[in-house]
Amino acid sequence: MIFFVHKKFFIAVFAVMVMISPPVCFAQDAKQALEDKVTGEAAVSVLSAYISRGQELSRHSAVIQPSATISYKGFSANIWGNLDTNPYSAGDSEYSANFTETDITLSYSIALGKLRAGAGYIYYALAAPYAGGTDPLDSQEVFVSLGLDTILAPTLTIYKEIDHYHQWYALFGVSHVFQFTEMIGLKLAATASYLKSDEAATYPEFDANALPTTDKYNNFHDATVSVALPLTLTKNLTITPMATYVFPLCDDARYEMKGRGLQGTALPFDRKSSFLYGGFTASFAF
């Protein structure tokens, strides 16, 4: 099992933690002390598949996705990973579990009345699905987000890839939580996206046969509908079973999702373009 994380990533996370850690001093005011408190969360998700932005990144394999976040005065640092427990092979090959991705996110957010605004940076450290395979090129993104603290909590986030896979990805999401008791809730959420490629060589449009072309992708992309059942077991511990359905918003997206799929078929067009997966997340806040 290979944990594909460069030392510089850990250094970056450590540096941010140092920057956002409060100085050791005696608080003059209890309220100010509470506002200056460093908060954090450790979580792990166990899911039946890893689907990201409509792309099938695992198949017939459970994935384990640990993460850790630390926040202070609007600044946050997060590290997240994906462990594929049984990397997919279209043939008879068998592969051992492997970490295929490790992401580091540095961000800042602020609330202005009912308006929420944020910006950040993400480094995606990517690895081959199995040990010994060819690693994909790493990716970097910057993003901005705007949201409203109102019914359905609408949020728009725009990502710009700045490294190898030059593209814009806009994601609009809505969600609502029905709180039945202090312990049990129901969260419904939906997203829709638009993708604009800057280079056909790194992010092409796919044709009706699900094969890459020399054109850039520029159209609506994937959408998701999800349902979750947050179970607050203690003040700090929450277990959340969930299920998500992913589907294309247009033919261009359908062709691409088929073309990038993992399913071993004679023709790319025979692959799936919609996915249903589920699992649970256990999170501990502090």
Task: List the chain pLDDT tens, one digit each, 286 residues.
Answer: 433 444 444 444 444 444 444 444 434 454 455 557 999 999 999 999 999 999 999 999 999 999 999 999 999 999 999 999 999 887 767 889 999 999 999 999 999 999 999 999 999 999 999 888 899 999 999 999 999 999 999 999 999 999 999 999 999 999 999 999 999 999 999 999 999 999 999 999 999 999 999 999 999 999 999 999 999 999 999 999 999 999 999 999 999 999 999 988 889 999 999 999 999 999 999 9
* Domain around 159: 7-21+39-285
Is 33 inside a domain boundary? no
Number of domains, the chain: 1
Is 34 inside a domain boundary? no
Is 30 inside a domain boundary? no
Q: What are the residues whose beta carbons fall under 8 Å from the beta carbon of 168, sequence distance 6 or more?
A: 158, 159, 160, 161, 195, 196, 198
What's 114's domain CATH number?
2.40.230.20
Question: What one-letter code names the amino acid at 224?
Answer: T
Is 148 inside a domain boundary? yes
d(CA 180, CA 229): 10
Is 1 inside a domain boundary? no
Is 32 inside a domain boundary? no
Is 27 inside a domain boundary? no
d(CA 181, CA 236): 16
What does the angle CA 54 – CA 162 – CA 202 come to, to the nearest 5 degrees?
Answer: 55
d(CA 142, CA 279): 29
Is 277 inside a domain boundary? yes
Predicted TM-score (pTM) of the model is 0.86
